[in-house]
Amino acid sequence: MFRILGGLVSPSGARGRLSILIYHRALPSPDPILHDSIDAAQFERHMALLAADFNVLPLSEACTRLSRGQLPARAVSITFDDGYADNESVALPILRRYGLTATFFVATGFSDGQIMFNDAVIEAVRSASAGTYDLSTLGVGVRSLADSESRRATIDAIVGRLRYQTLNERALLVERLIAALRSTLPKDLMMTPAQVKRLHDENMEIGGHTINHPLLASLDEQQARAEIVGGKHRLEEITGAPVKLFAYPSGKPGRDYGSRDVQLVREAGFAAAFSTVVGIANASSDPLQLPRFGAWDRNPNRLGVRLLMGCVRAAPAAPALQPQY
């Protein structure tokens, strides 16, 4: 069905359009606390649809073809942000089964058992024993944690408060949260360097995503450059290959990164970079700010329709947690 329609709305050549999908987690099984992350079965249905009806290209090849007006019809690229371990353990075998290539944007500062602040909140609240906790020092009052709904509501409230604080402030508040809930955090949520290398060795692409996943706009120029260049160099050390693609953390222009950061990305030697602006890339898109969109659809046919019709602009807003990172 998508093949015929797709040739009309997503033609090949100079009028070609490139849909770049964003994934984050690929959970081994459904999780009510992470209801906005897709699981292995859903990811497999997405890949089956893409392999059957679309032309999935490695992202670097797709960007080169886009710039030369040589995209095939129904062109799609698959990306994962942040570097979760399940990308290697769950998504990789499925990608291989369908013969598809994806690009993994890895924030390198978390590869030795560290965890991003939003995940620290999720995991601290998830693993807390059922009970009532005074979290007023975190600005979210007294909370009763019992079922997955109450845990999820608490997570959303805390993440909402922490999102635009500095890295140091976040670290302090997360520490306070862990102490208040008497939780422990997992050490294996993010990929190790060996897992990143394995993705590279399996012909997947690895892209830069800074070291510590800061909002680049909140940093001075020296800090922003160190984050962009440092992450790139670390990934090149791990893979032994040049890293030419970059995704801006959080990715909204003007809010999360600015024109200075685009320039820093250019100076660092990246050939293409990606925002989280919702859209489909075409010949007039800025190669250092290419739009993408979240692949959160439970029903793969809905994803197919969105891919074809370019109706992503009219799609519902992305769920609160995952697709914004």
**What whole-number distance in Å separates Cα of residue 88 and Cα of residue 93?**
8
Pairwise CA distance, residues 208 & 191, whole Å: 14
Q: How far is the CB of 107 from Zn ion (least distance, A)?
A: 6
Comparing CB distances to Zn ion, the nearer of 10 and 103 is 103
Is residue 265 within 8 Å of 249, Cβ to Cβ?
A: no
Cβ burial of 148 (10 Å; 0-12, 13-18, 19+) is middle
For Zn ion, the closer of residues 82 and 297 by Cβ is 82
| Min separation Cβ 186 and Zn ion, Å | 18
Q: Give the integer Cα–Cα distance in Å for 137 and 164.
A: 17
Nearer to Zn ion, 2 or 110 (CB): 110
| C-alpha to C-alpha distance for 179 and 47, rounded to whole angstroms | 41
Identity (one letter) of the amino acid at 182?
R
Can you give the binding site for Zn ion, defined by CB under 5 A? 81-82, 249, 325
We find the least distance from the C-beta atom of residue 210 to Zn ion, in angstroms, to be 8
Nearer to Zn ion, 38 or 308 (CB): 38
Residue 82 beta carbon to Zn ion: minimum distance, rounded to whole angstroms: 4
Pick the closer one to Zn ion by CB: 53 or 261.
261
CB of 161 to Zn ion, least distance (A): 19
State the alpha helices, DSSP H only, in the chain.
2-9, 40-53, 59-68, 85-86, 92-97, 117-127, 148-162, 167-181, 193-201, 221-239, 259-267, 300-309
